[in-house]
Amino acid sequence: MNNKKFGLSINIVLIFIGTMFYFFANFHRIAVPGAIFDILEQELKVSAPFITAFGAIFMYIYAINQLINGVLVDRYGGYRIMLGGGLVLTIGALLFPLSSNLFLMYLSRGLIGLGSSTFYLSIIKELRNLVSEKNFGMAISVMLFIGYTGGIFANAPFVFAMRFAGWREILIVLGVILLIASIIFALLLKKTELPKINKNVKLRFLPFKLVLHKRHNRNLFSFACCNFAIFYTIQTIIGKKFLEDFCLMPAHKAALVLSGMAIIAAAFNIINAYICKLGHNHRVKFLKNASVITFGSLLIICMALLFNYRTNFVAVVFCILAANASLTSILVPVLHLTNRKMISGTAVSIMNFCFFTMVGVLGTLTGFLLNMFEPVRIGNVAVYTNRSYLLVFGLFFFLSVFEMYKAMKMSNKY
């Protein structure tokens, strides 16, 4: 009995540390370049495309790994993958603030993206083995909440902390915490009995083919990746800078808005599912309405830019986009309803791949579009003009039209 309790305690601590890893993964995903866009531009003396690349590189690596993570977790077990991911994340998290060379900083962002991509499925796998079916949903909710708080701390608290220390020093301290957590995780892992490696689990292409063959899936992926990527590009790359440049917000207030967006996004994954349930679970109709809200929100921002109406109401529109993009709790059930059990997990992994690939693409394009017109220099700060931002949000607007078109082509019966 004592051995059983000891083993349970170790497993709980391991999952807690894994959730800490997930917290830091979300922190790094949102903090760079979003919270320190201007600082990186000044220190590195490069233009916008080089800065937005910090976010895009993370997203591309994160996205690609979504396609193979399920296989890796089923083959090697969640704990082994978490340990590997934690070590890679730690190396990247320490290398980034210690580097001034652009290539090394890009490399470190790739390592952070690779390590960060491993935790979500790994933790869910081990939670499934540890808790009862009755408590499984609550356990996932707690894990997700802790992880999402990393995104909250990546803006206002991070900007506030920079009043007392440089961004590099703060990230180094966080990297050391990650290193200590990784060492403790590795030591505890030696004291637990791990399942044997399942060599029968292999990466197969047939499930991917079956998922992509269905037109409904393709329409849903097109809708979902546009809806999510527009919000997440604002959240992680351009939102804070836009609020400072166009709405003339001080950095700390802009950071508060972005932290608020993270809180709203976390809360509305639950709220949207509840609202959808009140509407008799007409999930696809709910998604169609969401596409209209995205279209309307971006139309408001584009009109404000076009007529140079510098209003803080843009921050409210950002928060609406955050709530409107929190649709995972609706999208995943739709995929499970419309695909056979043997390929439903693959369908979810493809959707995640689409999410973060599109964020990477939009991040890359955002940098180039911002650079189309010469920014105004105020001291050492580059302030981008309405014309530059109109190109960026004009792109987002046209994507919202495509998103709405794809949403309307989905069947209403789910």
Name the residue with tokens 């909250």: 152
Cis peptide before 250 (omega within 30 of 0): no
| Contact in structure between 119 and 23 (CB atoms under 8 Å) | no
CA–CA distance, 311 with 135 (Å, rounded to integer)? 45
Cβ neighbours of residue 240 under 8 Å, at least 6 residues apart? 34, 35, 37, 155, 251, 254, 255, 257, 258
Domains of the chain: 1-200 (1.20.1250.20), 204-414 (1.20.1250.20)
CA–CA distance, 382 with 67 (Å, rounded to integer)? 38
Residue 377: strand, helix, or coil: strand
Report DSSP state, residue 237.
Answer: I
Whole-Å CA distances, 120 to 82, 89, 115, 127, 261: 9, 14, 11, 11, 21
pLDDT of the chain along its 414 residues, tens only? 466 666 678 999 999 999 999 999 999 999 999 999 999 999 999 999 999 999 999 999 999 998 998 889 888 999 999 999 999 999 999 999 999 999 999 999 999 999 999 998 899 888 888 887 677 767 877 888 888 899 999 999 999 999 999 999 999 999 999 999 999 999 999 988 888 898 888 888 888 999 999 999 999 999 999 999 999 999 999 999 999 999 999 999 999 999 999 999 988 888 888 888 888 878 899 999 999 999 999 999 999 999 999 999 999 999 999 999 989 888 988 888 888 877 887 888 899 999 999 999 999 999 999 999 999 999 889 999 999 999 999 999 999 999 999 999 998 766
What pLDDT score was predicted for residue 414?
A: 61
In our burial notation (b when 16+ CB lie closer than 10 A, e otherwise), range 201-213 reads: eeeeeebbebbee
What is the DSSP annotation of 108-163?
A: HHHHHHHHHTTHHHHHHHHHHHHS-HHHHHHHHHHHHHHHHHHHHHTTHHHHHHTT
Tens digits of per-residue pLDDT, 20-59? 999 999 999 999 999 999 999 999 999 999 999 999 999 9
CA–CA distance, 128 with 174 (Å, rounded to integer)? 29
- Which amino acid is residue 313, in one-letter code? F
pTM of structure: 0.90
Residue 382: strand, helix, or coil: strand
